[in-house]
Amino acid sequence: MASVVFCFLMLSLVDMTKASQDTVTQAKELEVQKLLDKLNKPAVKSLKSPDGDIIDCVHISHQPTFDHPKLKNHKIQMRPTFLPKGIKSYPESKTIDQMWHQSGSCPEGTIPIRRTTKDDIMRESSFQRFGMKDNMSIPNLSESLYSSTNNHEYATAEVVKDIYYGAKAFLNIWKSNVQQRNELSLSQIWVMNQGDNNNVESIEAGWQIHPMLYGDDRPRLFAYWTSDSYERTGCYDLKCSGFVQVTSVVVLGGTLAPISLYDSTQYGINLLIWKDRGTGNWWLRYQNIVVGYWPASMFESLSAESATVIQWGGEVINRKSNGRHTSTEMGSGYFPRAGFGRASYFRDLSVVNENYYLISPNYIRGYASKPRCYDIVLNGYSSDFGAHFFFGGPGRNPYCPI
Q: What was the pLDDT predicted at 384? A: 87
* pLDDT-based confidence at residue 195 (cuts at 50, 70, 90): confident
Least confident window among 5-19, 131-145, 175-189, 360-374 = 5-19
Asked if residue 336 lies in contact with residue 217, where contact means CB atoms within 8 angstroms, the answer is no
Q: What was the pLDDT predicted at 22? A: 47
Quick: pLDDT tens for 109-126. 999 999 999 999 988 877
Q: Return the higher-pLDDT residue of 296 and 148.
A: 296
Q: What was the pLDDT predicted at 139? A: 63
Work out the percent of the chain whose per-residue pLDDT is above 70: 88
User: Is 275 domain-assigned?
Assistant: yes
Compute the C-alpha angle 112/117/119, nearest 5°.
145
Q: What was the pLDDT predicted at 146? A: 39
Paired residues of 233 in beta bridges = none
Q: Return the higher-pLDDT residue of 141 and 29.
A: 29
Work out the percent of the chain whose per-residue pLDDT is above 90: 72
Type of residue found at 316: V
Residue 336: partners with Cβ closer than 8 Å, 6 or more residues away: 155, 343, 344, 345, 375, 376, 377, 389, 390, 391, 392, 393
Q: What was the pLDDT predicted at 161? A: 81
Mean pLDDT of the chain, nearest integer: 89
Paired residues of 282 in beta bridges = 275, 294
- What SS3 state is found at 9? helix
Q: How many Å apart are CA 14 and CA 18, to the nearest integer?
A: 6
- What SS3 state is found at 331? coil
Assess whether pLDDT exceeds 60 at residue 354. Answer: yes
Assess whether pLDDT exceeds 90 at residue 4. Answer: no
User: Is 294 domain-assigned?
Assistant: yes
Phi and psi at residue 162, in whole multiples of 5°?
Answer: -150, -175
Assess whether pLDDT exceeds 70 at residue 15. Answer: no
Q: Return the higher-pLDDT residue of 185 and 16.
A: 185
Q: What was the pLDDT predicted at 140? A: 56
Q: What was the pLDDT predicted at 279? A: 95
Q: What was the pLDDT predicted at 9? A: 52
Q: How many Å apart are CA 56 and CA 39, to the nearest integer?
A: 11
Q: Which residues are catalytic?
A: 204, 315
- What SS3 state is found at 227? coil
Compute the C-alpha angle 336/173/181, nearest 5°.
95
Q: Please provide the DSSP assignment of 127-165 as one string.
A: GGGTT---TT---SS-GGGGSTT--EEEEEEEEEEEEES
User: Is 348 domain-assigned?
Assistant: yes
Q: How many Å apart are CA 140 and CA 342, to the nearest integer?
A: 26
**How many Cβ atoms sit within 10 Å of the Cβ of residue 16?**
10
Assess whether pLDDT exceeds 80 at residue 135. Answer: no
Asked if residue 253 lies in contact with residue 158, where contact means CB atoms within 8 angstroms, the answer is no
Asked if residue 236 lies in contact with residue 224, where contact means CB atoms within 8 angstroms, the answer is yes
Q: What was the pLDDT predicted at 143? A: 46
Type of residue found at 43: A
User: Is 53 domain-assigned?
Assistant: yes
Secondary structure letter of residue 343 according to DSSP = S
Quick: pLDDT tens for 307-351. 999 999 999 999 998 889 999 999 999 999 999 999 999 999 999
- What SS3 state is found at 186? strand
Assess whether pLDDT exceeds 60 at residue 393. Answer: yes
Secondary structure letter of residue 334 according to DSSP = S
Count of the separate structural domains present in the chain? 1
Q: How many Å apart are CA 338 and CA 262, to the nearest integer?
A: 10
* pLDDT-based confidence at residue 150 (cuts at 50, 70, 90): confident
User: Is 250 domain-assigned?
Assistant: yes
Q: What was the pLDDT predicted at 127? A: 73
Domain that holds residue 61: 40-392
Q: What is the mean pLDDT of residues 145-159?
A: 76
Residue 190: partners with Cβ closer than 8 Å, 6 or more residues away: 139, 156, 202, 203, 204, 309, 310, 311, 312
Quick: pLDDT tens for 65-110. 999 988 988 999 999 999 999 877 655 556 788 999 999 999 999 9
User: Is 399 domain-assigned?
Assistant: no
Q: Return the higher-pLDDT residue of 132 and 148.
A: 132
* pLDDT-based confidence at residue 144 (cuts at 50, 70, 90): very low
User: Is 94 domain-assigned?
Assistant: yes
Helices (H), 166-221: 211-214
Q: What is the mean pLDDT of residues 118-136?
A: 81
Q: What was the pLDDT predicted at 26? A: 66
Alpha-carbon torsion, ordered 348, 86, 76, 48, to 10 deg = -40
Q: What was the pLDDT predicted at 3? A: 62
User: Is 70 domain-assigned?
Assistant: yes
Paired residues of 368 in beta bridges = 155
